[in-house]
A and B are shown apart, each in its own frame.
Chain A
Amino acid sequence: MKYEISFLLNNDKVTVEVDPVWTLLYTLREVFGLTGTKEGCGYGECGACTVIIDGQAVNSCIFPILEVEGRHVTTIEGVASKDGTMHPLQKAFVNEGAIQCGFCTPGMIMSAKALLDAKENPTEDEIKDAIEGNLCRCTGYVRIIDAIKSVSKGR
Chain B
Amino acid sequence: MDNFTIVGQKIPKIDAPVKATGDALYIQDIKVSGMLHGKILYSKYPHARILKLDTSKAETLPGVRAVVTAADMPPNFRIGVMKDNPPLKSGKTKSIRDEIAAVAAISTEVAEEALSLIEVEYEELPGIFDPIEAMQEGATLIHEEVKSNILKMPWKLVCGDVETAKKDSAHIVEDTFSTQWVTHCCMGTSGCIAQLDASNNLTLYSNTQIPSLAQNDFIEALNAFGYKNRRVRIIQSVIGGGFGSKLDTYAYEYIAILLAIKTRKPVKIIFSREEEFFATSPRQCTITKISQGCDKEGRLTFREIEMILDNGAYTSWGATTPSVMMLPISSLYKVPNIKYVAKCVYTNNTYCQAMRGYGNPQATFAIESSLDQLAEKAGIDPLEFRIRNSNEPGEITPQRFKITSCGMKECIDEVAKRLAWKTKKEHKGNRGVGIASLIHVGGGARVYKSDGCGTIIKMDDFGKVDVFTGASDIGQGSDTVIAQIVAEVLGIPIEDVNVVNNDTDICPWDVGVHASRTTFVAGNAALGAAKKIREQILEAAGKLLEEEPSFLDIKNSIIYSTKDKEKSTPLGKALRKIHYTLGGKMLMAEYFYDPANENFDREFKGNLSVSYAYGAHGVEVEVDKETGQVKILNYIAAHDVGKPINPLLLEGQIYGGGLQGIGYALGEKMIYKNGRLMNGNFLDYKMPTVKDVPPVQAVIVETDEKDGPFGAKGIGEPGLVPTAPAIANAIYDAVGVRIKDLPITPEKILKALKEKQGRT
Contacts and interface: CB of A to CB of B under 8 A. Distances in A.
Interface string B629-666: 00000000000000000001101100111111000000
Contacts of B19: 99, 102, 105
B239 interface: yes
A38 to B, nearest CB: 7
Nearest to A21: B109
B652 A139 contact: yes
Interface stretch (A42-50, A65-73, A115-123): A42-50
B509 interface: no
Interface in A79-117: 79-80, 86, 90-91, 93-95, 97, 99-106, 109
Interface stretch (B179-187, B193-201, B215-223, B547-555): B179-187
Nearest to B24: A102
A64 interface: no
Nearest to B663: A137
Given A36-B23, A137-B241, A137-B687, A101 B188 contact: yes
A103 to B, nearest CB: 4
B20 A105 contact: yes
A99 B690 contact: no
Contacts, number: 159
A53 B687 CA distance: 27
A99 B20 contact: yes
A77 interface: yes
Contact of B681 (A41, A97, A109): A41
Nearest to B29: A35
A109 B656 contact: no
A45 B681 contact: yes
Contacts of A139: 652, 655-656
B691 A38 contact: no
A33 to B, nearest CB: 9
Contacts of A102: 15-16, 19-20, 24, 238, 240, 475
B22 interface: yes
Size category of the B interface is 35 or more
Contact of A144 (B26, B188, B690): B690
A137 B13 contact: no
A75 B22 contact: yes
A99 B273 contact: no
B693 interface: yes
B25 interface: yes
B615 interface: no
Interface string A121-137: 00000001001111111
A86 B683 CA distance: 33
Interface string A9-40: 00000000000000000000100001111111
Given A103-B188, A137-B243, A142-B693, A76 B21 contact: yes
A42 B272 CA distance: 8
Q: Which of B16, B188, B655 has the most CB of A within 10 A?
A: B16
Contact of A145 (B28, B187, B690): B690
A92 to B, nearest CB: 9
A154 interface: no
Q: Which of A76, A77, A99 has the most CB of B within 10 A?
A: A99
Contacts of B475: 100-102, 138
A132 B689 contact: yes
Interface of A: 29, 34-43, 45-46, 48, 75-77, 79-80, 86, 90-91, 93-95, 97, 99-106, 109, 128, 131-145
18 contacts: A35-B29, A41-B681, A75-B22, A77-B21, A77-B22, A86-B21, A99-B13, A100-B475, A101-B188, A102-B16, A102-B20, A104-B187, A106-B22, A135-B687, A137-B241, A141-B689, A141-B693, A145-B690
Given A137-B187, A143-B651, 4 more contacts: A39-B28, A102-B20, A135-B185, A141-B659
